[in-house]
Amino acid sequence: MTLRHALPLPLTLLSLVLLAGCQQEEPASAERSSSESASAKTAEVGDRRLKVAMLQPPRSGLNPLTDDAFKLSRWSTAETLIRLDDDGSPQPFLATEWEQLDPRTWRFAIRDGVTFHDGSPLTAERVVASLTAATQAAPKPRILDGVSMEIEADGDDAVIVRTAEADPLVPNRLSSPQLAIMSARAYRDNGTVNPIEAGTGPFVLETINGTQSAHLDRYEDYWGERAELAGIDADYVPDGTARGAALRTGEADVVEAVPVSQVALIDPERIHEVPMPRTNTLYLNTESGPLADPALRAAAREAVDREAIVRTVYEGRADVANGLLGPALRWADGLRSPVDGRPTPAAPDGASITLGTFTDRAELPEVAVLVEQQLEAAGFDVQQEVRQYAHIEADMLAGEFDAFILSRATMLDSGDPVAYMVSDFACEGSFNIAQLCDPEVEAALEKAAELAPGPERRQAIIDAEAAILSTDAAVPMLHERVIQGESVRVAGAIRDPRERELIDEHTRFIDDGGE
């Protein structure tokens, strides 16, 4: 009896001991499991690729000497000697320091330890070759309009930049994405430039799928901090409704230029709005057609109802234009005076004009409809032509339209509006849609260009703006705002008024979930 009852006792005690042991070990096991799960979660976040819906497809195969350079910059694959801070002041990038040796000569020290995506080193000779290719391109990058620049190596770790005329904005110019430094493999004998595996940024461009998409991977040997994303998958989505839908459904993590018409359909947490140096302008042909008559240009200017366009098309998400430069340049309004010298408007009497714009920015066709109505109410007979930008740019620049509506960045290249004004309104400007060549405008632009950055230059810029507006070659209608879409799972996407940056090495997912 005793023996029969004694046997279960040790078993019971053993069971209790084992159970106690299990109970003591369970928290450590759970903690280990939780830690492993968190590590796996972090690894998964770091291995995720970001999906971006871009506004416009490339126009030149992502040639960095064209406007396509801004895509390369926004993906952080191509880098320049200089970058600009939020105030537009130059900061070190691939150049670590610089000095002005005389009014025409600058010396830039080149960062050590940088490699291109093909493994070749960044050298002074490579910088010289890359910048020289830009100066010899046809057409030249906008930032070099009216600028003669020669570059030579100064030893192994610096370059000398000389300009034909004194130029206080050389560092700003070298921040233009169109002057990105690329490896030798990018430059082909036929004059084209292929950016695949040729940049120095935290992401390496691996694949270009025409006008459909591009794919980039993290560059593990980046000279700066390692990118937190595994890569970027960029799709070109010109249709604004489709971009809005991509944000709503999670098909895209970051979306460029969400149309105003889509904003109300999207969770407000995903919408980010920033005033930007971009002006929606009606350019008027000063060289040929009915609007070569200054009095008819004045009539067109008077016909445009800016407030109605902002209220109806932009649903109040834009700023009525007082000039070419908007609220993103906070100093502009305080320096302005009324524009003098404008001609008296004449009756259009049914003058027939062609009004053009493009579809890539969703609001522009709507603006064109409203402007057409306003011009016809004033007595013009208006015919519209609306195409994709790639299919209308050549005719636009050749002066084939009497009037053209364009959304134009006013500080895109140098962080200073003089470059934009020269490009759009100087006699030899490469983007002179209005075909303007006016002696007073030329003199005002030359004066502004010669001054060093500061209060005097700013006043000269506003004086040049007044000279341009007095010709009625351009009717500024409104200043746009950046409406950028971002998944709530994304952190560190850049909201850049100048549209130079979008994704960088710090952009990341904040967890491993979807929407």
DSSP for 365-423, please give it.
Answer: HHHHHHHHHHHHHTT-EEEEEEE-HHHHHHHHHTT--SEEEEEEESSTTTSSHHHHHHH
Domain ranges of the chain: 43-77+201-253+487-515, 79-181, 276-481
Each residue's pLDDT tens digit in the chain (515 positions)? 333 333 333 333 333 333 334 344 444 444 444 444 444 444 455 689 999 999 999 999 999 999 999 999 999 999 999 998 877 789 999 999 999 999 999 999 999 999 999 999 999 999 999 999 999 998 889 888 878 999 999 999 999 999 998 989 899 999 999 999 999 999 988 778 999 999 999 999 999 999 999 999 999 999 999 999 999 999 999 999 999 999 999 999 999 999 888 999 999 999 999 888 999 999 999 999 999 999 999 999 999 999 999 999 998 989 999 999 998 888 898 999 999 889 899 999 999 999 999 998 889 999 999 999 999 999 999 999 999 999 999 999 999 999 999 999 898 677 789 989 999 999 999 899 999 999 999 999 999 988 887 889 999 999 999 999 999 999 999 999 889 999 999 999 999 888 899 999 999 999 754 44
The answer to whether 283 and 425 have CB atoms below 8 angstroms apart is no
Q: Which CATH number fits the domain 79-181, given the four candidates 3.90.76.10, 3.60.150.10, 1.10.10.10, 1.20.1250.20?
A: 3.90.76.10
Q: pLDDT for 62-93, tens place per residue?
A: 999 999 999 999 999 999 999 988 777 899 99
Q: What is the pLDDT, as a whole number, of residue 44? A: 58
The gap between the terminal CA atoms of the chain, to the nearest Å, is 68
For residue 166 the two structure tokens come to 């004194």
Beta-carbon contacts of 199 under 8 Å, excluding residues fewer than 6 positions away, are 72, 77, 78, 79, 116, 117, 180, 182, 183, 205
* β-pairing verdict for 49-54 and 231-236: parallel
Q: CA–CA separation, 42 vs 44, rounded Å?
A: 5
* Residue 118: half-sphere exposure toward Cβ, Cα within 13 Å: 13
Taking the model in full, what pTM does it have?
A: 0.72
Q: What is the pLDDT, as a whole number, of residue 24? A: 41
Q: Which residues of 138-149 are buried (b: 16+ CB within 10 A; e: fewer)?
A: eebbbbbbbbeb
- Virtual torsion, Cα 428, 429, 434, 437, nearest 10 deg: -40
Whether CATH 3.10.105.10 fits 276-481: yes
* β-pairing verdict for 490-491 and 508-509: antiparallel
Give the distance from CA 260 to its chain's centroid.
19
For residue 131 the two structure tokens come to 């910048």
Which class does domain 43-77+201-253+487-515 fall in? alpha beta
The residues that bridge with 273 in the sheet, in sequence order, are 483
